[in-house]
Amino acid sequence: PDARTIIAALRDRKGLPGASAEWFADGLASDGVTDAQAGAFAMAVFLNGLSEAERVGLTLAMRDSGQVLDWALPGPVLDKHSTGGIGDCTSLLLAPALAACGAYVPMISGRGLGHTGGTLDKLEAIPGYRTDISTDDLHRLVADTGCAIIGATGDIAPADRRLYAIRDVTGTVESIDLITASILSKKLAAGLQGLVLDVKVGTGAFMKTMDRAEALAKSLVATAEGAGCRAAALITDMNQPLASSAGNALEVLEAMETMTGNAVNQALWDVTVALGAEALVLGGLASDEEDGADQVDEALTSGRAAEVFGRMVAALGGPGDFVDRYPDRLPAARVVRDVPAPRAGFVTEIDAEALGHAVVHLGGGRLRGGDRINPSVGLSDMMPIGEPLAAGETIARIHAASDGDAEAALAAVIAAYRIGEDDPEEPPLIHDRIV
Ligand code: URA
């Protein structure tokens, strides 16, 4: 095959047979295809789509463009992926909870994208925590501790790194085929046996409608299974932040409070338990979802998940006493300011994407690639939909680097909250399950 023939076949709806997916993925990784050819390829896939078999072929080819990890461990290798949310620190709870239940979790995570938070950015709020470890160290850490949340080395799915950057500037990010191959090529390179997917839907999600979220969830599950990895997806609500805090150190704080039993946000707990239950069933560690849920619940309640988290933090260069001393160890913002409700009523709607942008503008995310993040800033104590409020009552607390930043965030948070007369119907937390 050659690039021109492959692109022309996609253009003419003649498909992408296995050998051409492999040739193109190798070409992406090795500069054997040009940027122009990669852009035309992405647009042809975007416009004409792939069959399920072609999607599996492209995913496997992109996975195999770099290193693929393999494991010889006494339990199943499992992971979770989220399509991106706000105020969602589930991964911080789930990785150690699954490890405490007998799974091994090499969680290769990403940074914030657009208005959403990134697990790596959150963990780097812990002083000393290193996310850039070698494959050998990753193998050792996962075997010893049960989980490691780290960043991708340069050799994980290099074809995706190149194609993603080109999609970003050619209007081809929003293709379900390409999103599927992109997400799964990276996840499957970690050598997983089971993957649970959290597909977000709502005002703060990339997929704003149920139709789009369902199509993505089905594509991810069918493609992962077709590539030999057991998979299940939950479509969960992102019409409001999942938990109470959004911002890097603030979310680590909330995760630690949850794992140590000091404060529990029910929605965060329920989504974590539901995703964990699916993962344990996929890995053969639970007989059904109810058994899985009981096990995850117990791992979190007993403090065993916190203990695993503490060992992971220490092994990756963070404080050895993090679980006991996390409030002192995490950075705190200079300015803390409460946002008063402009009138009495109920929280009826939240523009979760706007809250995500507010956190980015406070310095908790990046406006340009390479920007430095301020780990201490963000929002906490965010009131959920359905909360009754008196005029002047606090709807959220701003953590900012300066008075000016806090002032701008105050206006953004007030604009993101709609307060009405009537007690609204609260959105369901888990909209659907795709297996
Ligand atoms: N995240 C990814 O890794 N890839 C996409 O295409 C979209 C989101």
* pLDDT tens for each residue of 59-118: 999 999 999 999 999 999 999 999 999 999 999 999 999 999 999 999 999 888 888 989
Contacts of 10 (CB under 8 A, 6+ apart): 16, 41, 44, 45, 48
The first and second tokens of residue 24, run together, are: 């193109």
Tell me the C-alpha distance between 403 and 395, whole Å: 19
- For position 349, what pLDDT does the model report? 96
ipTM: 0.94
Of all protein residues, the one whose alpha carbon is nearest to atom 7 of ligand 1 is 179
Averaged confidence pLDDT in the chain: 96
* Domains within the chain, CATH numbers bracketed: 3-49 (no CATH), 78-325 (3.40.1030.10), 335-420 (3.90.1170.30)
Distance 344 CA to ligand 1 centre (A): 40
Q: Is 357 a catalytic residue?
A: no
- For position 17, what pLDDT does the model report? 86
Does the CA dihedral 406-319-84-38 come out positive or negative?
A: positive
Residue of 119, 167, 183, 186 with the most ligand 1 atoms within 8 Å of its CB, for mutation: 183
Q: Is 122 a catalytic residue?
A: no
Helices 322-329, 304-315: axis angle to 10 degrees equals 70
Q: pLDDT for 14-30, tens place per residue? A: 999 889 999 999 999 99
Are 80 and 97 contacting, i.e. CB atoms less than 8 angstroms apart? no
Of all protein residues, the one whose alpha carbon is nearest to atom 1 of ligand 1 is 183
Q: Is 81 a catalytic residue?
A: yes
Residues of the chain short of pLDDT 50, as ranges, are none
Distances (CA, A) of 378 to 16, 51, 213, 414, 415: 45, 42, 27, 15, 16
Query: Which one is catalytic: 79, 160, 237, 405?
Result: 79
Query: Which amino acids bring their CB within 6 angstroms of ligand 1?
Result: 164, 178-179, 182-183
Q: pTM (2 decimals)? A: 0.96
- For position 301, what pLDDT does the model report? 98
- For position 379, what pLDDT does the model report? 98
- For position 248, what pLDDT does the model report? 98
Tell me the C-alpha distance between 332 and 400, whole Å: 9
- For position 106, what pLDDT does the model report? 97
Q: Is 167 a catalytic residue?
A: yes
